[in-house]
Structure 1
Amino acid sequence: MKQKKHVIVVGGGAAGMVAAISARRSGVDVTILERNPRVGKKILATGNGRCNFTNINTDIGYYHGSNPKFAYSALSKFTANDTIRFFEKLGIEHKVEDLGKVFPMSDQASSILDVLLYELNEIGINIVCDAYVKAIIPENNEFRIELADDKVYRGDRVIIATGGKAMPSSGSDGNGYDLAAKLGHNIIDIFPALVQLMLEGPFFKRISGVKFVGTAEIIYNRKSIVKDRGDILFANYGVSGPPILQISRKAGELLNEGKDTHLKLTIMDMMSKEELRKLINKRFQISSKKSVEFSLVGLINKRLIPVVLMEAGINDIKRPVANLSAKEQERIVDILTDWRFKIKGTKSWPSAQVTAGGVNTEEINQNTMESKLVKGLFFAGEVIDIDGQCGGYNLQWAWSSGFIAGQSAAL
Structure 2
Amino acid sequence: MSALQNNNILIIGGGASGMIAAIAAKRAGAFVTILERNQRVGRKILATGNGRCNLTNTYIDVDRYHGKHPEFVYGPLNSFDYDATIDFFEKLGIAHIVEDEGKVFPMSLQASSVLDVLRYELEDLGVNVVCEAEAADIKKKDVFTVTLKDGRVFKGDKVIIAAGGKASPDLGSNGSGYILAEKLGHKIVNPFPALVQLKLSSKYLKQLSGIKFEGAAEILVKDKVIRREEGEILFTEYGISGPPVLQLSRVAAENLLKNDKVYIKVAIIKDMTKEALDGILLKRFQDGSNKPLSFNFVGFLNKKLVPVILKEAGIDDINKPAGSVSSQERKKLASILTDWRFEVTGTNPWHSAQVTAGGVDVCGIDNKTMESKIVPGLYFAGEVVDIDGDCGGYNLQWAWSSGYVAGMNAANVKF
TM-score with structure 1 setting the length:
0.98
Which stretches in structure 1 are left out of the alignment for 5+ residues?
none
**Hey, which bits of structure 1, 4+ residues long, moved more than 3 A?**
none
Which stretches in structure 2 are left out of the alignment for 5+ residues?
none
State the secondary structure of the residue aligned to 2:359: strand
RMSD: 1.1
Contact 1:10 1:33 (8 Å CA) reproduced: yes
How far has the Cα of 1:208 moved from its partner?
1.1
Q: Distance in 1 between matches of 2:309 and 2:240?
A: 16
Q: Which residue of 1 aligns with 2:74?
A: 72
Task: Show the 5 A alignment for 1:67-146.
Answer: 67-140=69-142, 142-146=143-147
Corresponding position: 1:52 with 2:77:
no
Q: Which residue of 2 aligns with 1:215?
A: 216
1:191-247 deviation per Cα after TM superposition (whole angstroms, max 9, x unaligned): 100011110012111121111000010011101110100000111111111111111
How far has the Cα of 1:322 moved from its partner?
2.4
Q: Which residue of 2 aligns with 1:371?
A: 372
Q: Distance in 2 between matches of 1:393 and 1:6?
A: 31
How far has the Cα of 1:23 moved from its partner?
0.9
Corresponding position: 1:288 with 2:276:
no
Corresponding position: 1:395 with 2:396:
yes
State the secondary structure of the residue aligned to 2:311: helix
Q: Which residue of 2 aligns with 1:228?
A: 229
Contact 1:164 1:174 (8 Å CA) reproduced: yes
Q: Distance in 2 between matches of 1:4 and 1:267?
A: 60
How far has the Cα of 1:3 moved from its partner?
8.2
State the secondary structure of the residue aligned to 1:279: helix
Q: Which residue of 1 aligns with 2:350?
A: 349
Which deviates more, 396-405 or 291-300?
A: 291-300
Q: In percent, how many aligned pairs have the same letter? A: 56
How far has the Cα of 1:258 moved from its partner?
1.2
Q: Which residue of 2 aligns with 1:176?
A: 177
1:278-307 deviation per Cα after TM superposition (whole angstroms, max 9, x unaligned): 000111111111222122222111100111
State the secondary structure of the residue aligned to 1:136: strand
State the secondary structure of the residue aligned to 2:151: coil
How far has the Cα of 1:272 moved from its partner?
2.1
Q: Distance in 2 between matches of 1:263 and 1:207?
A: 16
Q: Distance in 2 between matches of 1:410 and 1:3?
A: 8
How far has the Cα of 1:270 moved from its partner?
2.0
Contact 2:12 2:34 (8 Å CA) reproduced: yes
State the secondary structure of the residue aligned to 1:270: coil
Q: Which residue of 2 aligns with 1:193?
A: 194
Contact 1:56 1:81 (8 Å CA) reproduced: no
Contact 1:186 1:360 (8 Å CA) reproduced: yes
